[in-house]
Amino acid sequence: MAENADLPALLSEMMKSMEKGQEEMRKGPEEMRKRQEEMKDKMEKGQEEMRKGQQEMRKGQEEMKNEIQTHVESKVGEIKDHVNS
């Protein structure tokens, strides 16, 4: 009979364990959604940083192009002056 007396306590313990497992299962999808949102935010921030970097590169390239063009025009002017003199 002592074994039968332990049965309700064992069943109660099993029920608590099952309820805990079910609660963890319910939290699982919520946790996944939260992590997906965090990943999405990080990706969007990374893409924005990449866009800014590309804009800075384009700006730098444009500045270099202008400097080279100015330098070439200056040299062409010097050569013309030399030829004409």
Is 39 inside a domain boundary? yes
Is 84 inside a domain boundary? no
Q: What is the DSSP string of 7-48?
A: HHHHHHHHHHHHHHHHHHHHHHHHHHHHHHHHHHHHHHHHHH
Domain span at 13: 1-59
1, pLDDT greater than 50:
no
Is 79 inside a domain boundary? no
Q: What is the DSSP string of 2-13?
A: HHHHHHHHHHHH
Q: How confident is the model at residue 80 (pLDDT cuts 50, 70, 90)?
A: very high
Q: How far apart are CA 27 and CA 68, in angstroms?
A: 61
Is 31 inside a domain boundary? yes
pLDDT single digits (tens) 37-75: 999 999 999 999 999 999 999 999 999 999 999 999 999
pLDDT single digits (tens) 12-31: 899 999 999 888 888 888 88
Q: Which of the two residues, 3 and 60, has the higher pLDDT score?
A: 60
End-to-end alpha carbon distance in the chain? 125
Is 64 inside a domain boundary? no
